[in-house]
Amino acid sequence: MGIIDAMERLLFIKEDFCYLCRENRAKDYICSHCKGLIEFVHQRVEIKLPHIEGVYSSVLYNRFIREKLHSYKFQGKNYLYKPFGEMLLITLRENGLEDKIEGISYVPIHRRKEALRGYNQSKLLAEYVAKALNIPLLDKHLFKVRWTRDQSKLDRAGRMNNLASSFKAKNIKDFKGKEILLIDDIITTGATLMECSKTLMEAGAKGVYGLVLTSSMKL
Ligand SMILES: [Zn+2]
């Protein structure tokens, strides 16, 4: 799907209908039926990763969320950043993170992949959260510089090797000495979040908190 198609979808969406099912009327993007299918957690993920203070997650990775996330990433339903962004805002609020954060970053995808997809799903979430909280969005600061193999086909060790030094930080003065929120749509092994966080910390960030919509970690 190209950027024009994606833009059209965004323009013609009916605001007062549920963004997830497109059938029922809804306030704040989600109808009560869909709300009943979501298992909200808004808590810290049980994982300890180097270079990162903690990773927080909004909802359980159940079948409903898995399908919605898939259509968000791979079927051009980029407008889903709104209901997902609202969930992330609640997670930040409930964990007292809003006041700690001084800049918002996100997991970048390679520019060729972004061109193919038409958007970066994590960037859309970060933009939404940054705007709602009036916190600077760091959108010229973290880049994917290596084209890596598809992470989903690799085990944990393979993912770490695959990602090593594939991210690069720029415009470092904007986040040096600051607490950064790093947003991604999902945590699977933590390898991607950890590499991004490592890149930010090595460039001088004071601390990095992770925030994801959901976790499919198998512990
Ligand atoms: Zn619905």
pLDDT (tens digit per residue) in 156-196: 777 777 777 789 999 999 999 999 999 999 999 999 999 99
**For the purposes of burial, counting CB atoms within 10 Å of the CB of 32, is it exposed (0-12), middle (13-18) or buried (19 or more)?**
exposed
The percent of residues above 70 in pLDDT, for the chain, comes to: 93
d(CA 58, ligand 1 centre) in Å:
18
Q: What is the pLDDT of residue 27?
A: 85
d(CA 118, ligand 1 centre) in Å:
25
- Specify if 15 maps to a domain: no
Q: What is the pLDDT of residue 163?
A: 76
- Specify if 34 maps to a domain: no
Tokens of 41: 């957690």
Neighbours of 157 (CB within 10 A): 10
d(CA 18, ligand 1 centre) in Å:
5
Strand ranges (E), the chain = 40-44, 54-60, 103-106, 142-144, 167-169, 179-187, 207-215
d(CA 21, ligand 1 centre) in Å:
4
- Specify if 14 maps to a domain: no
d(CA 66, ligand 1 centre) in Å:
15
d(CA 215, ligand 1 centre) in Å:
22
pLDDT in tens, 67-116: 999 999 999 999 999 999 999 999 999 999 999 999 999 999 998 889 98
d(CA 25, ligand 1 centre) in Å:
8
- Specify if 171 maps to a domain: yes
- Specify if 99 maps to a domain: yes
Q: What is the largest CA-CA distance in the chain?
A: 47
Q: What is the pLDDT of residue 153?
A: 75
CA dist list (Å): 102 to 63, 136, 199, 207? 34, 7, 17, 10
d(CA 76, ligand 1 centre) in Å:
18
d(CA 106, ligand 1 centre) in Å:
27
Q: What's the mean per-residue pLDDT of the chain? A: 91
- Dihedral angle, C-alpha 142, 193, 164, 167, nearest 10 °: -10
d(CA 123, ligand 1 centre) in Å:
24
Cα 35 → chain centroid: 20
d(CA 28, ligand 1 centre) in Å:
11
Name residue, tokens 């954060």: 101
Neighbours of 22 (CB within 10 A): 12
- Specify if 33 maps to a domain: no
CATH number at residue 142: 3.40.50.2020
Q: What is the pLDDT of residue 11?
A: 54
Total domain count for the chain? 1
For residues 77-94, b (16+ Cβ closer than 10 Å) or e, as one string?
Answer: bbbbbbbbbbbbbebbee
Range of the domain at 53: 39-61+78-215
d(CA 150, ligand 1 centre) in Å:
31
- Specify if 103 maps to a domain: yes
- Specify if 135 maps to a domain: yes
d(CA 113, ligand 1 centre) in Å:
30
